[in-house]
């Protein structure tokens, strides 16, 4: 992480919009433009526009690109069709999570791996280290893309007004190249908000034109610019993990309740992908005797749990909060937490969070907190 934060191609625009900026993983990013609660509600009910250019893109190409990704990642990348995307993870040999990723298959032999900003270098290094022996190339494309997301129930209509691409044919977790507002873009139906929406990968020099076109097209539908603050509460309500909070190198995907992303039946490298042996053991452990489980907590009071606070029952520490925030949709504080399996069942009585010395009562619930009506 450089001491001087990096700026996205939209930096001047954010400042002209009066954004409150924050340092995030070495990038100076919009935290919010006005009220983060209003921005959150706009995404739930109308549409929001996000600059996500801090995300790290890595391109993997070549005749053995599939084999490299099957080997380097935990998912079965061979089963991803051209034009489709997959949520997956990259792990250490001991099964610890290095990052969670979205992999887009752009062409038969071309993949775009999208990593979290804070882990982009780690993922790039790991892929590069794992590549020798494969007829495949790993390319750092972090500077090749700006990423703009339009999210919310109104987003399909807004995007349709500025592109001829076949959005109706574009399924969730699919991506296709197209032209949006006159600029070439990779149009992906993905997001991190729990709503329908799109992520648009474009050349940085086209970012401002695209942003302005979407702002104009979305105005009648109530689209507003949105910062990272509401992105965090949106993903939390949707029960989506955030690296550094729910996911760390100390946890395997099975520990995080995301064992489903690990595939032991891959098209290639099913037995020897990085982490395979440790992850088999982790799968058995999670089945037989899970140490802790990731759960949702909903406050009965109004005080907000924060990452790192202890979850308590009968005066004992039984877990730890990984993310917490006031939920605009539920109107109550919510949290994700790892708790001992004995206390992880929804409705388990007597569970609280130690908020600066006071044990505030919390209800254990299944994740997610919010699921959109389709």
Partner 1 sequence: MSNPQQLRYSKEHEWLSATEDGVATVGITEHAANALGDVVFVDLPDVGATVTAGETCGELESTKSVSDLYSPVSGEVVEANQDVVEDPSLVNSAPFTGGWLFKVRVAEEPGDLLSADEYTEFSGS
Range 66-98 burial, b when 16+ CB lie within 10 A, else e = bbbbbbbbbbbbbebeebbbbebbbbeeebbbb
CB under 8 A: which stretch of 93-101, 189-197, 279-287, 297-305 binds partner 1?
Answer: 297-305
Residue 269 CA, distance from chain mean position? 26
Per-residue x/- mask for partner 1, residues 147 to 186, rule CB under 8 A? Answer: ----------------------------------------
- DSSP-derived letter for residue 10 is T
Q: Which stretch binds partner 1 (CB under 8 A): 143-151, 254-262, 298-306, 343-351?
A: 298-306
Alpha carbon 163 to its chain's center: 25
Integer Cα distance of 187 and 158 in angstroms: 13
Site string for partner 1, 339-358 (x = CB under 8 A): -----------------x--
Beta carbon of residue 27, minimum distance to partner 1 (angstroms, whole number): 17
* Count of other CB atoms within 10 angstroms of residue 348: 15
* Smallest gap from residue 33 Cβ to partner 1 (A): 11
Cα angle at 88 between 250 and 42, to 5 degrees? Answer: 100
Which pair of structure tokens corresponds to residue 370?
């919010």
359 forms part of the interface with partner 1 (CB under 8 A): no
Cis peptide before 276 (omega within 30 of 0): no
Of the pair 285, 306, the CB lying nearest partner 1 is at: 306
By CB under 8 A, name the one of 304, 312, 313, 353 that touches partner 1: 304
If one asks whether residue 233 binds partner 1 (CB under 8 A), the answer comes out as yes
Q: Are 188 and 149 in contact (CB under 8 A)?
A: no
Of 29-37, 62-70, 240-248, 273-281, the segment contacting partner 1 by CB under 8 A is 29-37
Instruction: Give the x/- contact pattern for partner 1 in 309-338, rule: CB under 8 A.
Output: ----------------xx------x-----
Candidate residues 76, 229, 252, 322; the one interacting with partner 1 per rule CB under 8 A: 229
67 touching partner 1, by CB under 8 A: no
| Interface residue with partner 1, options 110, 303, 341, 350 (CB under 8 A) | 303
Three-state DSSP state, 65: helix
Between the alpha carbon of residue 27 and those of residues 12, 53, 242, 262, 264, the distances in Å are: 14, 9, 17, 31, 36
Complex with partner 1: residue 20 or 107, whichever CB lies closer: 20
Q: Of 103-142, which residues contact partner 1 (CB under 8 A)?
A: none
Strand 137-140: give its sheet, edge to edge. 85-91, 97-107, 110-115, 56-61, 137-140
| Residue 302 beta carbon to partner 1: minimum distance, rounded to whole angstroms | 5
Q: How far is 352 from 315, CA to CA, in rounded Å?
A: 9
Q: In the bound complex, what is the minimum distance in angstroms from residue 239's beta carbon to partner 1?
A: 18
Between 95 and 296, CB nearer to partner 1: 296
- The minimum distance between CB 185 and partner 1, in angstroms, equals 31
Of residues 11, 28, 36, 246, which one binds partner 1 by CB under 8 A? 36
Cα–Cα distances (Å) from 215 to 122, 150, 186, 208, in that order, read 34, 10, 19, 10
Residue length, the chain?
374
Which residues of the shown chain bind partner 1 in the complex (CB under 8 A)?
Answer: 20, 31-32, 35-37, 229, 233, 302-304, 306, 325-326, 333, 356
């Amino acid at each position: 992480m450089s001491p001087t934060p990096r700026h996205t191609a939209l930096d001047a625009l954010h400042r002209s919009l009066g954004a409150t900026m924050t340092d995030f993983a070495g990038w100076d990013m919009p935290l919010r433009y006005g009220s983060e609660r209003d921005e959150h509600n706009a995404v739930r009910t109308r549409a929001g526009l996000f600059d996500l250019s801090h995300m790290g893109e890595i391109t993997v190409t070549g005749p053995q690109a599939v084999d490299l990704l099957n080997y380097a990642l935990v998912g079965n990348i061979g089963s991803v069709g051209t034009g489709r995307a997959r949520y997956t993870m990259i792990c250490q040999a001991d099964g610890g999570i290095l990052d969670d990723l979205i992999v887009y298959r752009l062409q038969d032999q071309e993949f775009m791996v999208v990593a979290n900003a804070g882990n982009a270098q780690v993922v790039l290094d790991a892929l590069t280290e794992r590549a020798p022996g494969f007829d495949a190339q790993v390319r750092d494309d972090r500077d090749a893309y700006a990423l703009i997301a339009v999210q919310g129930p109104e987003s399909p209509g807004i995007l349709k007004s500025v592109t001829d691409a076949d959005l109706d044919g574009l399924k969730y977790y699919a991506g296709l190249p197209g032209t949006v507002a006159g600029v070439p873009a990779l149009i992906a139906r993905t997001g991190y908000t729990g709503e329908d929406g799109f992520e648009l990968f474009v050349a940085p020099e086209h970012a401002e034109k695209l942003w302005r076109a979407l702002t104009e097209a979305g105005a009648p539908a109530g689209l507003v610019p949105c910062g990272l603050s509401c992105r965090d509460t949106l993903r939390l309500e949707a029960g989506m993990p955030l690296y550094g909070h729910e996911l760390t190198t100390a946890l395997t995907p099975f520990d995080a309740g995301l064992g489903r992303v690990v595939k032991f039946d891959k098209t290639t490298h099913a037995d020897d992908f990085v982490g395979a042996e440790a992850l088999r053991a982790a799968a058995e452990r999670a089945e037989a005797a899970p140490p802790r489980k990731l759960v949702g907590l909903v406050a009965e009071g109004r005080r907000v749990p924060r990452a790192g606070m202890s979850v308590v029952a009968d005066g004992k520490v039984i877990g730890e909060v990984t993310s917490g925030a006031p939920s605009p949709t539920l109107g109550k504080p919510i949290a994700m937490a790892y708790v001992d399996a004995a206390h992880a069942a929804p409705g388990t009585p007597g569970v609280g969070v130690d908020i600066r010395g006071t044990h505030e009562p919390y209800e254990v619930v299944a994740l997610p907190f919010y699921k959109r009506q389709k």
